[in-house]
Structure 1
Amino acid sequence: MNVAVVLFTSDLRLHDNPVLCSALRDADRVVPLFVRDDAVHRAGFDAPNRLAFLADCLADLDAGLRKRGGRLIVRTGPVAKEVRRLVEETGAGAVHLAAGVSGYAQRREEQLRTALADSDCELRLHDAVVTALAPGRVVPTGKDHFAVFTPYFRRWEAAGVRGTLTAPRAVRLPDGDLSSDPLPSRDGVGDVSPALADGGEQAGRKLVTSWLSGDLADYADGHDDLAGDATSRLSPHLHFGTVSAAELVGRAREKGGPGGEAFVRQLAWRDFHHQVLAARHDASWSDYRPRQDRWRSDEDEITAWKTGRTGYPVVDAAMRQLAHEGWMHNRGRLLAASFLTKTLYVDWRVGARHFLELLVDGDIANNQLNWQWAAGTGTDTRPNRVLNPVTQGKRYDPHGDYVRRWVPELAEVKGSAVHEPWKVKDALDYPDPVVDLGEARARFEKARGLD
């Protein structure tokens, strides 16, 4: 009997999963495994919102496997140790795993190689599982990654993504009883955002179907509309791999039109950040392009930003949405990040860490590198741009509906006036601005040597 282990990580799905399909093709029996790794807790990456969403994902994955004759085996402990133990229990000849790009993923792969080195079991890594195109698939001449998105996107489009795989009809476990820890439950997680979305492949695929048949058509024009919320909200499912980036690219291209093209471009942005991090692991916490910044650290201003009480309504609305949903509109993320790093001139790592504490889609590649883009220490070709929260609010929330939705103190302020701090200063319990925008911009430009 030929046995393989499938180590699920950021690919918690049955549809279009090259890891699972390869194992089922090569082995008679397959053991689906998920390891609750102690290292994730020690690193502080097991934020409540992601733990709750993960519990949904694992329950859904287990249910799908059981319909096919299998089940999910859950173990707790160091990944390499638990995988080696399961290999010894089953006599598995291969462990299949989606390749990752973060420092944690790279260490996990190396630890697995070491743990399996003296066994008859082979570690098999699979590319283009977490992303649509594998990091390193396209590179500029003489370099190991693209540092600018536009040339990357041209090569990315020309390379094309792999075809979509169907979900397996059957998954057969080895004979005998395999012990498993209980599946985690969302109910067992505290401090979860009140309106956190449901996780799992079924929820993800329903969302994909609704998105492709609905708002995708208007995505090119509407994706920055804060109040309209015309984004896919698929980022948590992409992070946990309950939907496939490659499948999304293929299906969006089939739909075509400006909306489909714009959405595919956003998926390429996700791949772009993964290929940057694959080449520069230190970019998760170190400046990709240092600007000799001497960041400020005003705890009162940082607290005001975190709690949505800066006195700038669109920034406050975005931060309150994050706290309530564990998710934030893409334009809101950009405005909140620009305000912290450029207007308050606070280290981007402070903001990135806070986002990772709350975001259900808190992905190291996309979160950290988007923060660096906003701070001007990343891949932005205009590193010193400063986004004015008043003009940005009027542009992307022209009627003020987004602000009134999340900042109830301003519910009676009409129209775009809600974005003007000097017009809302008398609103009940709403704070005065923490900083003057003109003074803040002058301070930032002086710090960057632009004055």
Structure 2
Amino acid sequence: MSAASIALFTSDLRVHDNPVLHAAAKGTGGVVPLFVLDDGVRAAGFDVPNRRAFLADCLADLDEALRARGGRLVVRTGDVVEETARAAAETDARDVHVAGGVSGYAHRREERLRRALEAGGRRLHVHDAVVTALAPGEVTPAGKDHFAVFTPYFRRWQAERHRDVLRAPRRVRVPETAGSGPVPRRRDVSGVSPGLAAGGEAEGRRRATAWMGAPLRRYAQGQDDLAGDATSRLSPHLHFGTLSAVELVRRAREAGGDGDGAEAFVRQLAWRDFHHQVLAARPSAAHTDYRARHDLWRRDEQEAEAWRTGRTGYPIVDAAMRQLAHEGWMHNRARLLTASFLTKTLYLDWRLGAAHFLSLLVDGDLANNQLNWQWAAGTGTDTRPNRVLNPLAQAKRFDADGAYVRRWVPELADVPGLEGGAVHQPWKLKPAAARAEVDYPDPVVDLADGLARFKQARGLE
């Protein structure tokens, strides 16, 4: 009988289309499905309540799926390298399989794992295209290690053949010597956003199946409608790997054919891959400007706090920030406009905004979050780095009747004189006495003043 293998789960918490589990389960010596509640992740500040609660759902569901196949999830707590090496020694595992990561932390983890395992006569196998549809670095421009502009990347991405979708293993046999701690439970996590969605592969696949019909076909027309909420909401499942990006691309193309909705959705999956290949090549972009604009960012904690708490005086911005606090999620269009408002209207550092998002977003992916923030700030891959999203113009286009604002800013919902789109400019409410009765702040900045300040800072005037 061959030796056991370890499937070290990270951001791939699923049994369907998982190259890590598929490879580890091939042998006859059994497989150790291992997840380590990593002290390194906690120390780095990524272990926040919303993601911890969603993770608990994912691990419970993964354990259930493995038990249905005769196995179980092995959960450890501590340093990921030490715990993996200990599990390998306890089960006499000779091979450890793990999904490739793109962050600096993932690179260091992989190198530490390789050294520790080789010292014990064991081997590390890193699998690509597990977290993304196309592996970072699989396509590159001539003479460079990554694409810095999305459009040429997308052309190559579309032309590339993605790997085959793998079936879930029928049986998983776990060595009896593989000891495990308890699987975390959501109810033990405090500080969770009240509207946080449920996690787990079963829930992700249910959502994906519901999406691959009429919602997908309508996506191109409704993806920016804030109140309509016509997005897939699959991003948390992609972040935790309860859904496979490879499988989603294939299912969308099959379900949507040549329709605009499927094409628009697949394009979003390609954007996700694009950001991962940028961060894989430039891990420092998680914290430093990808393209420096020599910004001397302002410091104003009162304005920053007004932005964080949804009290800027601009209802469309405040609605988005309150949605984030309540759900641990925010519509993509809202992410763009709130990020533009912070970095270009208030001219506050993008890292401040990125950190706040990561403290709440259940889909708080380092590559997508940081590089989308840099895109909005004009320090990233945007080919128009000085574009400014005017919140009033955005509100008129994407929340014309004010339904999104009324949902999330209830103090403005039933105010006479703020019917329809008027809700986006409550400072125009007449008479002044009526305005004083509404518990809503005046704008923290005049848009024209903010724009002039930004242009001056960037040397555009």
Q: TM-score range by the shorter chain?
A: over 0.9
1:258 corresponds to 2:263: no
More displaced stretch, 340-349 vs 107-116: 107-116
- What letter corresponds to residue 189 of structure 1 in structure 2? V
1:39-188 equivalences under 5 Å are 39-174=40-175, 176-188=176-188
Residue equivalent to 1:197: 197
Letter in 2 for 1:422: W
Task: Report how far residue 163 of structure 1 moved.
Answer: 1.5
Give 2:307's aligned residue: 305
User: d(CA) in 1 for partners of 2:261 and 2:437?
Assistant: 39
Which ranges in structure 1 are unaligned for 5 or more consecutive residues?
none
Question: Which moved further from structure 2: 232-241 or 155-164?
Answer: 155-164
Q: Which residue among 351, 358, 362 is the counterpart of 1:360? A: 362
Question: Which sits farther off after the overlay, 252-261 or 322-331?
Answer: 252-261
Partner amino acid, structure 2, of 1:394: K
Contact 2:41 2:47 in 1 (8 A): yes
Is contact 1:45–1:356 with CA below 8 Å preserved after alignment? yes
Q: Is the 8 A contact 2:90 2:177 kept in 1?
A: no
Is the CA contact (8 Å cut-off) linking 2:32 and 2:178 kept in structure 1? no
Any idea what SS the aligned residue of 2:61 has?
helix
Deviation at 1:162, TM superposition (A): 1.3
Match of 2:33? 32
Gaps of 5+ in 2: 430-434
- Give TM-score scaled by structure 1 length: 0.99
CA distance in 2, matches of 1:402, 1:433: 19
Provide the rounded CA distance (Å) in 2 between the counterparts of 1:218 and 1:27. Answer: 47
Contact 1:8/1:97, CA 8 A, preserved across alignment: yes
Structure 2 match to 1:16: 17
Q: CA RMSD in A?
A: 0.9
The one-letter code sitting in structure 1 at the alignment partner of 2:354 is A
Matched, 1:345 2:352: no
What secondary structure does 1:25 align onto? coil
Q: Which residue number corresponds to residue 222 of structure 1? A: 222
Aligned: 1:433 with 2:443: yes
Match of 2:295 among 285, 293, 296: 293
Aligned-partner SS, 2:302: helix
8 Å contact from structure 1 (residues 58, 183) kept in 2: yes
Residue of structure 2 equivalent to 1:278: 280
- Partner of 1:289, secondary structure, is coil
SS of aligned partner of 2:449: helix
What residue identity is the alignment partner of 1:405? R
Mapped to 1, the partners of 2:102 and 2:44 lie a distance apart of: 17
Moved more, 267-276 or 420-429: 420-429
1:446 aligns with 2:448: no
Give the deviation of 1:26 after TM superposition.
3.6
Q: Secondary structure at the match of 2:119?
A: coil
Q: Is the 8 A contact 1:409 1:427 kept in 2?
A: no
SS at match of 1:123: strand
- Identity value in percent: 69
Q: How many Å apart are 1:276 and its aligned residue?
A: 0.1
1: CA distance, partners of 2:73 / 2:308: 38
2:352 is paired with a residue whose SS is helix
CA shift in 2, pair 1:27/1:141, >3 Å: farther
Counterpart Cα distance in 1 of 2:181 and 2:174? 17
| Shift >2 Å, 4+ stretches | 421-427
Q: 1:418 aligned to 419, 423, 428, which one? A: 423
**Matched residue of 1:338: which SS?**
helix
Counterparts of 1:427 and 1:164, CA distance in 2: 59
The normalised TM-score by structure 2 is 0.96
What is the number of equivalent residue pairs in this alignment? 450
The CA distance in 2 between the partners of 1:111 and 1:72, in whole Å, is 23
Give yes or no for contact 2:91–2:177 (8 Å, CA) kept in 1: no
Structure 1 residue 427: deviation in Å?
A: 5.8
Structure 2 equivalent of residue 320 of structure 1:
322
- Alignment partner of 1:403 is 2:405: yes
SS in 2 for 1:144: coil
Please give the per-residue CA displacement for 1:198-221, whole angstroms capped at 9, x wherever unaligned. Answer: 000000000000111231111111
Q: Quick one: distance in 1 between partners of 2:4 and 2:177?
A: 14
Shift of 1:117: 1.8
Distance 1:25 1:155 in 2: 32
Which one-letter code corresponds to 1:145 in the other structure?
A: H
3-state SS of paired residue (1:288): coil
